[in-house]
Amino acid sequence: MRVTSLALAGTLAALSGCRSGPAPLPPPPVTAAQPPAAVQRTPAPKPRIALVLGGGAARGFAHVGVIRALEQEKVPIDLVVGTSVGSLIGAIYAADRDSFDLEWTAFKLERDDLFDYGVITAVMGMGAAKGDKLEEFVRSHVKVQNIEDLKLPFAAVATDLNWGTKVVLDRGPLARAVRASSSIPGVFQPVQHMGKLLVDGGVIDNIPISVARAKGADIVVGNVYDKYGTRNPLYRVMVDGYFRSLSRLLPRPMPRRVLEVGCGEGHIAGWLTERAPSTSLAALDLSPGMLARAGQRYASVEFVCGNAFELPFASRQFELVLFLEVLEHLPDPRRALKEARRVCSGQLVASVPREPIWRLLNLLRGAYWRRGGNTPGHLQHWSWRSFRRLLQESWTVEQTATPLPWLIARCCLKGDA
């Protein structure tokens, strides 16, 4: 009986101890799963689109068609850059952004609206027309007076006649800027503007893509023609013939130090580096924008900004100097050839369009009728005889080639033949 009482007492004590311990914790509350927070994305910056309008009377009306097509496709234009007739069309469009009015203005345009020919002007001046009518035409068709007041940012490209350099006109009197950009040498008198004597911008840069790029354009649209990249089968045959003839005239082996004057976007410089990778090649041009793009394509070439009349190189620094499709654009090719002699210790290879074949081919394809077939920007014109005479003034002509429609000559310094 006593054992039973003790057992009962122990059981009660154990139960009492369990009641005095901590209470169990409640289970955690169940919460619904939260959706992940949405990631905020910064919208990509809108690309800046530039409309670039080049020179050439026939191309002027094509510009209007390009602008109409861009409007129909709702392509936004943020900047307009023009050379020669492209500056005229571009200025009118930048003022109103209305392609219909632009097309109507172009349709009504007559030669007498722009050209003020005169016998005295032709005899006493540097052009057959003064250009006053052209300037007045712009004033009468554009309401604003200054470039800064246009609805779209605008720049006209002209050429400094004294220095052969490109001049970008993006502020000041609009009509004067268009007149300067459109003053074709021999047709209009040069224009005094901003302390410079200016002529048609096509002399230096007929399609001023580099100006648009320098002003921040991400995309460039307009009438652009790349003769080296053309798919036209006939022109492709002629370009291939040019490069075959050039290849035969280049000295072999290629000299160690070579300079190309007027390299543009570096097409020929790239071609040369593929043929002679061990050659140290320098390539010079006036356009920083073109040189920047060329440098991205051809990293092994030393691209230098400068002009053909004052080459930024030491005397006799190069064993070969190239003037390929450059001399016809220069107001004073003799001065350029003299400067080439200074930096050259060996040979010169030069090429130019062959006249009158070049003009005839332009006329046959319906180009530049009002210019008599002359390509915009061509200030000089040579037959084979006249080109040879030019070279022989300071060089000895060694070998020649005539791939249609060009003239190519390899020369050496006089006394080295």
User: What angle is formed at CA 223 by the lines to CA 228 and CA 353, rounded to 5 degrees?
Assistant: 45
Q: What is the pLDDT of residues 331-362, one digit of tens each?
A: 899 999 999 999 999 999 999 999 999 888 87
The mean pLDDT value of the chain amounts to: 82
- For 357-390, the pLDDT digits (tens) are 988 887 876 666 766 888 767 889 999 999 999 9
**Given a cut of 60, is residue 80 above it in pLDDT?**
yes
Return the SS3 of 408. strand
pLDDT at 416 over 60: no
Count Cβ atoms below 10 Å from residue 26 Cβ, excluding itself: 6
Task: Using the predicted structure, report yes or no on whether residue 2 has a pLDDT greater than 50.
Answer: no
Residue 123 pLDDT more than 50?
A: no
Residue 402 has what pLDDT? 96
pLDDT tens, position by position, 34-52? 666 555 666 667 889 999 9
**Can you give the pLDDT at residue 14?**
43
Instruction: Provide the percentage of residues in the chain whose pLDDT is more than 70.
Output: 77
Structure confidence at residue 322 as a pLDDT band (50, 70, 90): very high
Phi then psi for residue 183, to 5 deg, are: -80, 85
Strand, coil or helix: 272? helix
C-alpha dihedral sign at 71, 62, 211, 98: negative
Q: What are phi and psi of 161, to 5 degrees?
A: -65, -30
Residue 5 makes CB contacts below 8 A (sequence gap 6+) with none
* pLDDT grade for 63, boundaries at 50, 70 and 90: confident
Residues comprising the chain, all counted: 417
Tokens read off for 349? 């290879």
The answer to whether residue 101 scores a pLDDT higher than 80 is: no
22: pLDDT confidence band, cut at 50, 70 and 90?
low
Element at 71 (helix H, strand E)? helix 57-72
Q: CA-to-CA distance for 126 and 149, rounded, in angstroms?
A: 32
* pLDDT, average across residues 280-307: 85
User: Which has more confidence, 55 or 248?
Assistant: 248
pLDDT (tens digit per residue) in 300-315: 999 998 889 999 999 9
pLDDT at 386: 96
Q: Which positions are catalytic? A: 84, 200
Q: According to the model, what pLDDT value does residue 6 have?
A: 40
What's the average model confidence in pLDDT over 26-37?
Answer: 59
- Highest averaged pLDDT of the listed ranges 21-30, 62-71, 126-135, 270-279: 270-279
At what angle are helices 132-141 and 174-181 packed, to 10 degrees?
Answer: 130
CA 281 to chain centre: 22
pLDDT tens digits, residue range 148-164? Answer: 999 999 999 999 988 88
Q: Are strands 196-200 and 406-413 parallel, antiparallel or unpaired?
A: unpaired
Which tens digits make up the pLDDT trace of 208-260? 888 999 999 998 887 655 566 655 677 778 888 999 999 999 999 999 999 99
Whether pLDDT at 318 is above 90: yes
List Cα–Cα distances, 203 to 89, 98, 172, 378, in angstroms: 18, 29, 22, 7
Both tokens assigned to 146: 């200054």
- Closest Cα partner for 78 from 107, 53, 51, 115? 51
Question: Between the CA of residue 337 and those of 181, 322, 347, 408, what are the distances in Å?
Answer: 27, 10, 12, 15
